[in-house]
Structure 1
């Protein structure tokens, strides 16, 4: 019929067949499914303006494969990655649709997950995982870092005996995904991700309790909660001690660039058995990306505020130095042609303000941001863009804003509103909309406390404030020296999602 002749039916699409030969279908009506695509005429839309996207789910053993993978079960075969079309893999189909519906996209972040098993930095192992320990697939089998399916970490299962996560994408699928995207002219950023497989009912000591004496850690927590044990702010904490540094070192492990064997497009581990640290994961993928032909950008870590704010002394942050050491090793593998960065959480990038009554303010990540080997300041941006409530008897409606959907209202909260002009000092204040202005007294640098004031943070020299007293010497950060990249930017597609874009309603 053509776009111009399509009737404006709402809610129902009709498919009409004339003289359909049923012999092909056993002389009965076939079961058919359809997906209807409607291009948006207005180019001023998210689809028309988006230039970069994040490719998830990060897990799924063959999710990213561009060749069909089939599970063999007796004499039958079942496709693993042909869920959209029978003759096109999910990855290829996803990229086809992405480029058709968001034609301005130039760059894709490929997210790949391993699994952490403990919030205590000194006890956490970070390993590739599988959904089941025995499965035969063709024409390729699952393998990550030289680890076979039978030897891999087995992800937890729910009360219906289903895996709670998909497995780590097999190495060959990551290579295929990188090569496929680059063949399409897309820039590729590699994004290593940690999913925390801490199931309900666990008996692990909770670092966020006095003396870590509480039994049971929260189920499927955010990786950003990995920290020292006991954590800062709790009785018996090891924060600001040498023990904290040793716990950080245990999490990173001892892998070096030479701990791997590279053969063609395969990378395997030759280091110490049992070393499941962050360094092993990140260096493995640095080698794998290089073997795939290279990537445009690579992240050495993502959203680890509970780790980067650990102190081994009053102003010493061992994880920050550990990331700098890792950065140098990744650079030695990927070379100067790859942009390398760290993707900080939006609550992490600008500094450490412990709120413990000390008055301390440290730009703790500045040694990393200023490192000559890092190319950009990465921020996973989920900052609030609204504070809308039911009805119209609330603060923002009283200011004259007509609705949460008003574009000018949302734009005004990009460099304004919560996190810029004011903050909530407590949950009770949030409920009552009792807003406290963000000020800085004599120093007159309120941007130090405004996580939304990216421009001022980027444009100014930074001065630590031990005990609340501003140092006379700036940190290593040179104003405007590195570009800021939003390595993630998003909001849940739900009512008032812009109030708290960082809230994920799936506990995992």
Structure 2
């Protein structure tokens, strides 16, 4: 189970945190319930009551990205407000105090996000989770704090950067496929190195939590990143993937800090884990993450699994659903789609095809290995050697991946709690974000 919101200054604290509101009055910042002393206690008590067999949790801790251009993006701990009067547990993260922290932007009359969890609250949460008999995985996370009207040059060629986008859109500038793109040039590597290793770069965040996990007496595991697809797919002038190299190096440095007992992984997007299929017309298929998956410092292949499990439309109530669904909530039919259906047997080549249910089969005319193109065929990907394809030919030498060499972990799993959520599990509704969307053919009903 993933513990969120990830962005909450004191929401993970196990004791009440107060601030002074006026002379003789104060308020509790982390209690919005009457059933427990803190929101944390109420939430964890309810979780364990609902899921008595739960064994492990991933504790999400968010910092904020400031730009979609890799070379300009800073990764910063953030706060909701610059000052709090007589804060009973002063907020601090990685030695950054409240007055020096990034203040998150405003949206709808308040902060667009909660702040980064204070280090004291993270340590308290880890201690409490262990006391409850749970295994703890620490999950550093990037949220993009890019407000409307930002005026920032957009790597994707629009007038400015989109508001509150997905972290997977951080990329080189200009992005791949655009005129003058930095992709496949030396500039791509320079931009990635600035993102990863700058004074306010990505490594600082992850290494901080590696150190904090030691302060906490160790954790079961640590996720060194997730869904950074726009970065992992960038190539330099030699065709290498510099951010994948950076993740391999980061895993080694985290391992040196936490030792062999802490499991490490990267939570790849479900469209990212199995390879990079170039969109430049070359037809290249590259298993770009294999150096990371094969690294001795990575213990598992992490996948944020939001793969579709249904293709239901309201009219299917009157006409038979082609996949045998009896309703949009047919659990047995959904189970049958885990290794079948969209992303396994077939795909929609366009939105028009989706609207008209014109399905194209997934096949491999080159080498008879359709699993190469099937996001859902985790078994096929996991149990075979991988051979890169360039110029319409398969390489004679395999990548470093060996069949079955690491377990598969679903670092995230779920779908939006709305009508037809299984049609498109990877979307969510957030009015402030450019990513806000309902699943295909959903009414939006709860």
Shorter-chain TM band: over 0.9
Correspondence for 1:40: none
Spell out, residue by residue over 1:281-335, the C-alpha distance to the aligned partner (whole angstroms, 9 max, x if none).
Answer: 0000110111011110101111100000000035300000000111111001100
Aligned match for 1:102, one of 35, 38, 51? 51
Measure the CA separation in 2 of the matches of 1:382 and 1:97. Answer: 25
Q: Give unmatched runs, 5+ long, in structure 2.
A: 434-446
Correspondence for 1:61: 9
Matched, 1:226 2:175: no
Call closer, same or farther: CA 1:168–1:436 in 2, change over 3 Å: same
Correspondence for 1:329: 253
Residue 159 of structure 1 deviates from its aligned partner by 4.4
Equivalent residues in 2 for 1:31-180, closer than 5 Å: 53-74=1-22, 75-85=24-34, 87-160=36-109, 162-180=110-128
Correspondence for 2:306: 382
Equivalent residues in 2 for 1:300-311, closer than 5 Å: 300-311=224-235
Correspondence for 1:263: none
Correspondence for 1:354: 278
Matched, 1:204 2:128: no
Number of aligned pairs?
Answer: 431
Call closer, same or farther: CA 1:398–1:328 in 2, change over 3 Å: closer
Higher-Rg member (1/2): 1
Call closer, same or farther: CA 1:397–1:314 in 2, change over 3 Å: farther
Correspondence for 2:193: 249
SS class of match (1:441): coil
| Contact 1:387-1:396 at 8 Å conserved across structures | no
Matched, 1:239 2:183: yes
Equivalent residues in 2 for 1:385-424, closer than 5 Å: 385-392=309-316, 397-398=321-322, 400-424=324-348
Spell out, residue by residue over 1:346-401, the C-alpha distance to the aligned partner (whole angstroms, 9 max, x if none).
Answer: 00000000222101000000000000111000000000000111212898614543
Measure the CA separation in 2 of the matches of 1:478 and 1:92. Answer: 44
Deviates more, 1:199-208 or 1:137-146: 137-146
Call closer, same or farther: CA 1:137–1:376 in 2, change over 3 Å: farther
| Contact 1:305-1:344 at 8 Å conserved across structures | yes
- TM (normalized to structure 2)? 0.94
Measure the CA separation in 1 of the matches of 2:225 and 2:66. Answer: 17
Correspondence for 1:503: 427
Matched, 1:366 2:290: yes
Correspondence for 1:24: none
Matched, 1:492 2:441: no
Call closer, same or farther: CA 1:252–1:403 in 2, change over 3 Å: same
Aligned match for 2:239, one of 312, 315, 323? 315
| Contact 2:79-2:115 at 8 Å conserved across structures | yes
Measure the CA separation in 1 of the matches of 2:320 and 2:95. Answer: 55
- TM (normalized to structure 1)? 0.83
| Contact 1:112-1:193 at 8 Å conserved across structures | yes
Measure the CA separation in 2 of the matches of 1:396 and 1:328. Answer: 53
Call closer, same or farther: CA 1:394–1:312 in 2, change over 3 Å: farther
Spell out, residue by residue over 1:230-251, the C-alpha distance to the aligned partner (whole angstroms, 9 max, x if none).
Answer: 0001111010011000000000
SS class of match (1:392): helix
Correspondence for 2:436: none
Correspondence for 2:129: 181
Spell out, residue by residue over 1:5-57, the C-alpha distance to the aligned partner (whole angstroms, 9 max, x if none).
Answer: xxxxxxxxxxxxxxxxxxxxxxxxxxxxxxxxxxxxxxxxxxxxxxxx10000
Measure the CA separation in 2 of the matches of 1:393 and 1:427. Answer: 22
SS class of match (2:288): coil
Correspondence for 2:381: 457
| Contact 1:353-1:361 at 8 Å conserved across structures | yes
Call closer, same or farther: CA 1:459–1:86 in 2, change over 3 Å: closer
Alpha-carbon RMSD: 1.4
Measure the CA separation in 2 of the matches of 1:470 and 1:168. Answer: 46
